[in-house]
Each structure stands twice: as structure tokens, then as C-alpha cells.
Structure 1
């Protein structure tokens, strides 16, 4: 199969108003206000127990994981983080401080550009690359209080450079350097996961770092109704492995754990790693993807960039035979990556809906 470019017409998103512009001209539109249900921020605000749990989010040290003298102990911590949490802070990851500094500054500078400059990179009708929003499939669904710039970053032939900002002038170079460094981190982590799972050919896991896309998020403050809007609806990541850089020191990421929303406070110098739906499929449920969301601050903006790692479009997703135990049936079907992406983009962001669609015996 020709892999010189990614397939076209994978699925798009309906156009929505620019939230950064709306934030400067209140009141908040009704499509952003959440009902008083289980996902409304105000009904699950941080309490003492949640704050304590936040400090318990696992920390994995990549330098120790790659050091033969410490690898076994750190591999055990990685295994526990993947099995018990699905999320962890990654420290000593090897991405140079200057690379992180540069990409942070350029991302912040992009969102300070005039609206017309950003809208020049607006998404087209057949894809989610560019500036706008994703997973908007109807005119009446609730919207997220956020704007995004979505870019395919790896491999280079998958890029649509017409969506890459030319301002600031250093943006493309800094994102390229960050992209390559983070892809190496993802490959190291996936290889370690494979060894933990007893998969001798680590390439079967590291293949889901062959493709990378970046979702660069801007969450404006919302003083009028920050407790009734969400920056990002509850969902699990429908990719292999996500590495998140919290550009701002402002907290906002929360994970669903044992029925509660647990904040993941920014840890200086760390990336946040999380198991995606594809890893749940490959491991036949040994490692499970976790629902998470982003809440909005009343007075401060928040910026983050998620690096999503997946397999190339000419690959398939399905449970690895080495992981399925004797007498155990595969829980998930096997699907071509291209068909999987089309499935995802045809639905709104909602819980673990992608995993339900992948199950051989979906819930009734």
C-alpha cells in the first residue's frame, strides 16, 4: 500500500464559534453550558480526598527505566501505573529543556495572534487538521470551552503544511524538534510496556508510535460560568499513547478514578503519559484507557499540547496473540487503522464510546 500520504476524507467537524473571541464578549452561549448532571464541574469540585489522590498520581522516571542498574524497579513502577491508573507523570524524559521552552513560547505566541491570522488556518470540511474544534457532529450537541490547532506531525509525509503556522516564524522549527523528541520518548515507553507484558518483539508495541499528531489546546478563562462549562468533554484517548505537555501552570486536567474526578496538577519538568484505547485493544484489556476531562479557570487561560501516538494507516489494530492467555478469547475486534479513524471522527467525544464500538460483545 502506498503510504506516501495519509488517506483523505477521514472525517471532519462542524464549524463552531471561536471561543477565545467569545470569552472577550460575554455572556456565555447556551451551547457551552452543561446541565446539572454527573459531568457538570460544579457537582464534582475538588475536595480533600480528591486533592490527596492528586498527589498519588504515579511518577515514572524514564532515565531510570533506561538504566540497566535501575530498570527492573522502574519497570515495576511503570507496570503498576499502567495497570492501576492508566495515567502517570513522566520525569527525566530526556526532552531538552530548551526544546520545551521554545515550543511553549511559540504556542503561546500563536494564540496571541489576531483572530484573522488564526482563522486563515481553519479546518476544511473533510478533516480535523487546522484551527477549530473536533468531534462536533451535530448542531445541538454541547460544545467545549476551547479552541485547538490540530496538526499531523509524524511521519513528515503525513503533514499538511498549509495548516502549520508561519507566525511566529520559529513555530515550525520548534514544533519539529519537540515532535521528534517526544516520539522517541513514546517509543522507549512502549518498548518497556512490551517487555512488561512478555511481548518479545517490542516492535509490535512500538509500531503505535510510528504516527504522531498534536492537539494544541487553548482554554480561555470563563468568569461568568467556569463551573458550568468544560474545556474538554469526558473521554478516553482513542490512540495508542498520549504524552501531554502542560504549557501553563494552571491546573485543569482531571481523570475519572473510582467514580470521582481527580485533578492532575502540573508537575514542573514532567510530561503526563496516558494509556490510550489502542493499548487497551492490543493488551486485550490488561491495560485500560482512562476517562479524563479538562475544566476551565475563572480568571486564567490554560494552554496544553497533547502528542497522540498511533500506528501508520497501512496497519491494523487488534489484540496481540502473545498477550491472550490460554483459554481466553479476544475481547476486541481487529480493524484497519484507516477504518478505525473514520469510526472515531464520525462520533462526538463521549466517554469510552470508541472502546464500546471495538468490543466483540459490546454492552447492551
Structure 2
């Protein structure tokens, strides 16, 4: 029995469904179960959304500049749970190859993509995300999920990938892991957590990636590309593959559309780091909307903890005056629990919260 074994329902390819140019969307995709809170206008978007310059954060010889950027990072993680990252240092050629290979994969005929189809008891492979019941509403998206590191966590589907895709994923995720660790160490530094505690939990942690495909939809207001959720990872790094927008983040009851900056990554704080920071940093609830005319493609890379550790608040943050705000749980149990339930906002991490009287 696999460490992260799941039990998913099979559903048809949404990309193929979209090709039929349906006038009426099948009822299982109609999201009448979702509230529609206010949506901020795009005008306020880039004025408010935090932007972090990685070069200023880690490569500056000027400590004042570094500390200023570290304070910006702390504010972004505490009050937003996400930020856009510029000057990130990941090779532009590697990024472009990853974009190209993702587009190429989704341009394949369905019978070719089905060679990488996941089994109902495995999260890895091509298919849909977290379908655990026949009554569940479905997202308007096809996804390709892979565990990428450490190598022993890779499932058989990884070795079946055609050479150009496999080599590009290995090259891209190696650079993203290096970037993720720098960010996690800086987040730890801003909280006063020793680097060795961050590294011991995350450096050899599980890394996974998800290639997302959101087809156009004739009734875009009735469906959702990906329903509101937070990620279980410590950190998520999102690459926008094409120009179609759709990501929205929740802040103070308002959904804010995010317009990615050129050559930037969008970085989300995940549930694991909210727990590790003892609730100081917040995982971000986000969702994906779809277009009536254009496909949207993105790649999310998740840096999680090791599977053989206990997840809980960092020991250096827990004192008599600042008790633990989250239960301690085995990492494998935590991630398996997330993968085997329907995505509902931040309900999973909230269930781990300790309510002190």
C-alpha cells in the first residue's frame, strides 16, 4: 500500500468535452454550490498585490536593502499569503522549455494523453483533481500531477514520460526546488527560526507538480476551473504558461483577480507553512476562473515537508506566552488526508487548529 494512496472516481476529459462546443453545460460542472463574493476590479490589482525582488532579498551587499525586502516578504506572507516574485534567478530558457512542453502535452490527441492516465488509487498521472464521490461537483479542468522529488517518490508514470517532457520537468523542478528553499529559509529568517530547522523539515521534502489545463467554456460564469482551496504544501510556485488570466485570491471576503507580471512567478504560502509558523503566516485561499474564448494553462510546483516527520509549529515559536495553535500530525497522514477529500476552502488546515480558551 502506497504512502499516499488515494481512491478517486474516474471522470471524462474536460478538454474533450469543451471541443463539443456545448450550449448547455452538464449539471455536474455547474457550480451553484459556490457563493459569489465581491470581485475587486482589475484597476486596484497591481497597486495592492505584493511584489518581492529575489535579487534584493538574497544577493544584495547592502543590508538595508536586504532587510527592507525581508520586511516586505514578512508583510506579504502575514497579510496576503502570497506574492509575485521578480528577478527569481530561474533560467529563462528552462522556464520557456517548461511552457513549451506543457503546451505540447495538452496539444496531444486524447489517446496519447491517456497513456499517462492515473489509476483510481493513485494521484499521479493525467486526469481530474480529487474526485471522491459521484455527487461531487466537478471543476472545468484537466490536470497532470506528478511527484518529482525525492526520486524514490516518483511513480511509474514518471518513467513513461517521453524524453523531452521528462528531461524538461527534471531540469525545471530542480531549479524550482533551489528557489523554494531560498524562499522558505527567508520566511524562516523573518520569523527568527533557525535555518537548520527549516532545512531539516523541507530540504529533502516531497516536491510535486501539476500541469493545469482550463479549456474555454460557453458558460464561464457557471463553472469553475478550480474551486476555492488552499494548498497543503509549504510553498507553491505558479508559472503562467499562456496569456489567459483566471487566478483569483481571496482577501477580506473579496476575490482579487491576479494579473501575473512578465517573467514573474506567483508564490503561495501553503497550509504546511501556516502550521509551521504557528499561524503567523497564512495560506492563501485561491480559485481559477475560465474564459469563454481561450484556453488557460499553468504549472504549479509544490514544495512540501519530508513525509517521515511530525508537522507542527516550529519549536522556536512556541512559548508559555505563545502556545501552539495547531495540532501535531504525521506528515504522511496530513498529506494523505488532504488528497482524499473534496477541496473546500481552508477547511482542512482549520480542522487542525487548536482553540485556546
TM-score range, shorter chain: over 0.9
2:74 is matched with which residue: 73, 79, 82?
A: 79
C-alpha distance in 2 between matches for 1:9 and 1:249: 34
Report how far residue 59 of structure 1 moved: 0.6
2:153 is matched with which residue: 152, 158, 161?
A: 158
Partner residue in 2 for 1:355: 349
C-alpha distance in 1 between matches for 2:185 and 2:285: 24
C-alpha distance in 2 between matches for 1:301 and 1:202: 43
Q: How many residues align?
A: 351
Unaligned runs of 5+ in 2: none
Partner residue in 1 for 2:289: 295
Partner residue in 2 for 1:21: 16
Q: Residues 101 and 165 of structure 2 are in contact (CA less than 8 Å); yes or no, is this contact kept in structure 1?
A: yes
The 5 A counterparts of 1:1-364 are 7-8=2-3, 10-25=5-20, 26=22, 27-35=24-32, 37-39=34-36, 44-47=38-41, 51-67=43-59, 68-69=61-62, 70-163=65-158, 166-167=161-162, 169-204=163-198, 207-209=201-203, 210-222=205-217, 224-361=218-355
Distance 1:198 1:208, change over 3 A: same
Q: Residues 39 and 257 of structure 2 are in contact (CA less than 8 Å); yes or no, is this contact kept in structure 1?
A: no
The two structures, once aligned, show a CA RMSD in angstroms of 2.0
Q: Which moved more, 1:311-320 or 1:183-192?
A: 311-320
Report how far residue 161 of structure 1 moved: 4.0
C-alpha distance in 1 between matches for 2:285 and 2:160: 31
Distance 1:303 1:206, change over 3 A: farther
TM-score normalised by L of structure 1: 0.92
Q: Residues 238 and 299 of structure 2 are in contact (CA less than 8 Å); yes or no, is this contact kept in structure 1?
A: yes
Distance 1:18 1:282, change over 3 A: same
Secondary structure of the 1:65 match is: helix
Q: Residues 140 and 223 of structure 2 are in contact (CA less than 8 Å); yes or no, is this contact kept in structure 1?
A: yes
Q: Residues 38 and 253 of structure 2 are in contact (CA less than 8 Å); yes or no, is this contact kept in structure 1?
A: no
C-alpha distance in 2 between matches for 1:87 and 1:135: 23
Report how far residue 52 of structure 1 moved: 0.5
Report how far residue 160 of structure 1 moved: 1.6
Secondary structure of the 1:214 match is: strand
Q: Residues 251 and 265 of structure 1 are in contact (CA less than 8 Å); yes or no, is this contact kept in structure 2?
A: yes
Distance 1:9 1:258, change over 3 A: closer
Report how far residue 53 of structure 1 moved: 3.4
Secondary structure of the 2:220 match is: coil
Secondary structure of the 1:120 match is: helix
Secondary structure of the 1:104 match is: helix
1:164-216 deviation line (CA, Å, top 9, x unaligned): 5634x411111111000000000000111111101124443563252200011
Unaligned runs of 5+ in 1: 1-5
